[in-house]
Amino acid sequence: MTGRLKATPETWIFLALGSLALLLAQRELLSVSSQTLALLLAVAVVLTGLPHGALDPWVAWRAGLWRTRAGFAAFHLAYVALAACVLVLWQMAPGVSLALFLAISAWHFGGDWQNELNVWARAVCGLALLALPAWTAPADVSAIFALLSGEQGRVLAVWLGTAAPWLALAAAASALLALPRSPAAAIELGAIAAMAWLLPPLVFFLVYFCALHSPRHLRTAVLSADSGQRRRMIGVAVVYTALAVLAAALLWPWFAGNAAPPAALESGLIRMVFIGLAALTWPHMIVVMLSEQRGRTSP
């Protein structure tokens, strides 16, 4: 092994939280109610997940995508319009919307190892990350996908579970190839596989998304700015996270649907988290790609 273990802070946070979750799961101490788990997921996504996307206006400004008041207005209009289009499409074609969300999420999550893996290995690892829970906990993933897109979601869960073993093999090969260059990346991928295998799907997503993915992109953004800009970044992240929460609250009747309490709380929170993330992921990815084309580092 020629590489050194250059683990970043989020690597240690992810491994520590993941190890704790695995220990609790093995001792059957994660047996909280499904409503409580959905609430914990929603809170964790708000506190650690939304802020890295909430920096998009700052990222766009820094990359020169807008610099004037008119540009500021145009950027926000386009961002909100695209997010709204995602919600409308989800209402009209939920199965297609979920499939597209899974595809873009796989691509986006694979970017966590942008400097360690080539483009194809990143895509495979991103897909494996999403597919493994559908293989190891098919009933749970099928139920979650059904909440998001009905029977079409159940079909997608079956497809993912069928592809998962092959994707897992390809991801393992990618991790082994990355091992000499980046032992930390190989360890992260191995830990992700173990957690996907042993943790409930929602707990696995919470640990990965909130302890590794979001902190990694937040750290990248912070390191790309000077001390003066960092104070501005904090303000931007707080304001736009609050706006996203307000938008979710206004849309709560749609997320909750016609389910009766307490089922409405669980299903509404799960739909709010994942459909809400889908609506924000599309404009977020466009901002990321455009800023990278301009040679800027972005979350």
pLDDT tens-digit profile of 214-260? 999 888 888 877 777 888 888 899 999 999 999 999 999 999 887 66
Domain count, the chain: 1
Kindly report the pTM of this predicted structure: 0.90
Q: Is residue 299 part of a domain?
A: no
Q: Which of 114-123, 252-261, 289-298 has the highest mean pLDDT?
A: 114-123
pLDDT at 299 over 80: no
Residue 18, domain member (yes or no):
no
| Interval 61-101: pLDDT, tens | 888 889 999 999 999 999 999 999 999 999 999 999 999 99
3-class DSSP string for the chain: CCCCCCCCHHHHHHHHHHHHHHHHHHCCCCCCCHHHHHHHHHHHHHHHHHHHHHCHHHHHHHCCCCCCHHHHHHHHHHHHHHHHHHHHHHHHCHHHHHHHHHHHHHHHHHHHHCCCCCHHHHHHHHHHHHHHHHHHCHHHHHHHHHHHHHHHHHHHHHHHHHHHHHHHHHHHHHHHHHCCCCHHHHHHHHHHHHHHHHCCHHHHHHHHHHHHHHHHHHHHHHHCCCHHHHHHHHHHHHHHHHHHHHHHHHCHHHHHCCCCCCHHHHHHHHHHHHHHHHHHHHHHHHHHHHHHHCCCCCC
For residue 20, is it within any domain?
no
Domain around 120? 47-293
